[in-house]
Amino acid sequence: MGEVRYILFLILATVFYAVFSYFYKIDINNSIFFVSVLWLLPISIRSGQYILEKETDIFENNIKNGKRDQEVLLSRLKDIKREKAYLEEKFTNLSKLYAITKEMSFNIRFNELFAALKSFLEENLLFDKFRVILFKYEDDKRFIDKIYEMTKESKGYIETSRSLYSLAELIAESKKPVFLERKEELVNFGFDSKTKNVLLLPLIVRQKVISVIMAEEIEKDDYDRFLILVSQIALHIERISLFESVESLSIFDGLTGAFLRRYFLERFKEELPRAKQCGLCLSIIMVDLDYFKNCNDSFGHLAGDVVLKEVADILKKNVREIDLVGRFGGEEFCILLPEANKAGAYIVGERIRKAVQEHLIRAYDESIKITISMGISSFPEDSGEAEKLIEHADTALYEAKRKGRNTVCLTP
């Protein structure tokens, strides 16, 4: 409406100026100039206003778009920061997993492996209790060798509920992971009534279950890292098992489980200097089975092997953990008794002699009784040299044989 009025005003003004110019004889060029200005000036002003309004709109739109772009950029920046934090966390977690994997690769004993593992779990994963059930195979039969338990307070090999043995066997048989969270199931399998959940994972190497992992109350956010870790644990358990098997072949007699002569002598030569340095005593007992050749001739060599194994078992059961039992060859054994004087060694010898004498050996439907003769020498009374001590003990053994066997003789 305002535009129409403005145009009508211009028309009237033009007509009025035309009449005015006619009566007052105004120059036509001036009249045209004036009329042109009269029309063009408002049009220019209106055009300027239009352009200004247009530019203002564009500017305002740019500001609005800029704000939207800024919001988009800020949102994207937040996303990038979140992604960066996530990637940094992933990198940190992978770095820690790499570090513990590298550390475990240097471990050659299970106690070392699990000590490193416990340290990692405490620092990086939330858990209440962690168990590793180790299996062994003999003649393709699987049995539980030991259970290693880790808690916040302690670590070590444990004896545990038979129900856990049964659960471990079920997992090993199925070869599938299981997540228990129902209270009835947890209690039935021997877990504490306060336990919320248990994750059970079989560790499989070359189609054999070598271990079962039991993790109580592992946080769900830790599952991925835990699964990566478990795959590494499986490899290290297998590696250490193989190492121990090879080591066992190199230091233990395959038939009797006693130390091989070479290893026994190495340990003897380590213990003797320690005894000298610390001012301690030390004794050795030479052991020989009486009439063993007659046993082989009467019952056969297979029965003779059973006799050797059972006598070796009696020797090992009747000595301390720090003592060593070695097989010297044939039917002859040697026992190293660190920190034991001659009187103490004699008591041990008599205990073993009586245990063998009273033991009935059953081998292939045969019942066999056997006796042993023993000779003892001690440091420092008899000698300070390993070879001399063995020689003296051997001499005492022959004295026991000369006296009728089934007896214990001391080095005079």
Phi and psi angles of residue 399, each rounded to the nearest 5 degrees, phi first: -65, -40
Q: Judge if 306 and 237 occupy the same domain.
A: no
Least confident of 76-80, 154-158, 211-215, 396-400: 154-158
What's the pLDDT score for residue 89?
A: 66
Each as own residue / partner, the long-range contacts of residues 385-394 (CB below 8 Å, 24 or more positions apart, any chain) are: 386/265, 386/268, 386/269, 386/272, 389/272, 389/284, 390/284, 390/286, 390/334, 393/284, 393/285, 393/286, 393/334, 394/286
Q: How many domains does the chain have?
A: 3
Looking at 105, 134, 169, the residue that finishes a domain is 105
Write down the residue that tokens 């000298």 correspond to: 276
Q: How is residue 88 written in tokens?
A: 């940094």
What is the mean predicted confidence (pLDDT) over 131-143?
80
Do 143 and 208 share a structural domain?
A: yes
Instruction: Name the pTM for this structure.
Output: 0.54
Residue bearing the bigger pLDDT, 101 or 259: 259
Domain boundary among 251, 285, 303: 251
pLDDT at 142: 82
Q: Which residue has the tokens 């020797």?
A: 315
Q: List, in order, residues 6 or more apart from 368 with CB less than 8 Å away.
A: 295, 299, 303, 307, 360, 361, 362
Q: What is the CATH number for 159? A: 3.30.450.40
Whether 232 has a pLDDT exceeding 80, the answer reads no
What would the DSSP string read from start to end of 133-191? Answer: EEEEEETTEEEEEEEEEEESS-EEEE---HHHHHHHHHHHHHTS-EEE--HHHHHHTT-
Looking at the structure, do residues 142 and 46 belong to the same domain, yes or no? no
State both tokens at 36.
């042109």
For residue 397 the two structure tokens come to 């053994």
Q: What is the mean pLDDT of residues 277-305?
A: 91
Instruction: State the pLDDT at residue 163.
Output: 64
Lowest-confidence segment of 46-60, 217-231, 347-361 by average pLDDT: 46-60
Lowest mean pLDDT among 109-123, 368-382, 394-408: 109-123
pLDDT, mean of residues 118-145: 75
84 shares its domain with 216: no
Q: What is the pLDDT of residues 60-69, one digit of tens each?
A: 676 666 666 6
Q: In this structure, are 299 and 361 located in the same domain?
A: yes
Could you say which of 54, 79, 105 is where a domain stops?
105
Are both 197 and 301 inside the same structural domain? no
Same domain, 288 and 366: yes
Asked if residue 48 has pLDDT above 70, the reply is: no
Higher pLDDT, 52 or 403: 403
Do 63 and 4 fall into the same domain?
A: yes
Q: What is the pLDDT of residue 215?
A: 79
Do 331 and 265 share a domain, yes or no? yes
d(CA 101, CA 83): 26
Pair (87, 176) in one structural domain: no
CA–CA distance, 168 with 170 (Å, rounded to integer): 5
For residue 212, give the amino acid letter. Answer: V
Q: In what order do the strands lie in the sheet with 141-151?
A: 155-158, 141-151, 129-138, 208-216, 198-205, 178-180
Q: Within this chain, do residues 124 and 230 fall inside the same structural domain, yes or no?
A: yes
pLDDT at 407: 95
pLDDT of amino acid 412: 83
Domain hosting 380: range is 259-410
Return the minimum-mean-pLDDT range out of 55-59, 197-201, 261-265, 316-320: 55-59
Domain co-membership, 270 together with 345: yes
Question: In one letter, which amino acid is 61?
Answer: N
The CA angle 284-288-289, to the nearest 5 degrees, is 145
Average pLDDT score, the chain: 78
The confidence score (pLDDT) of residue 195 equals: 79
Average the pLDDT over each of 30-34, 176-180, 252-256 and give the range with the smallest value.
30-34
Task: Work out the number of other CB atoms within 10 angstroms of the CB of residue 238.
Answer: 17
Closest by alpha carbon to 86, among 231, 220, 221? 221
203 in Cβ contact with 211 (< 8 Å): yes
Distance between CA atoms of residues 315 and 287, nearest Å:
10
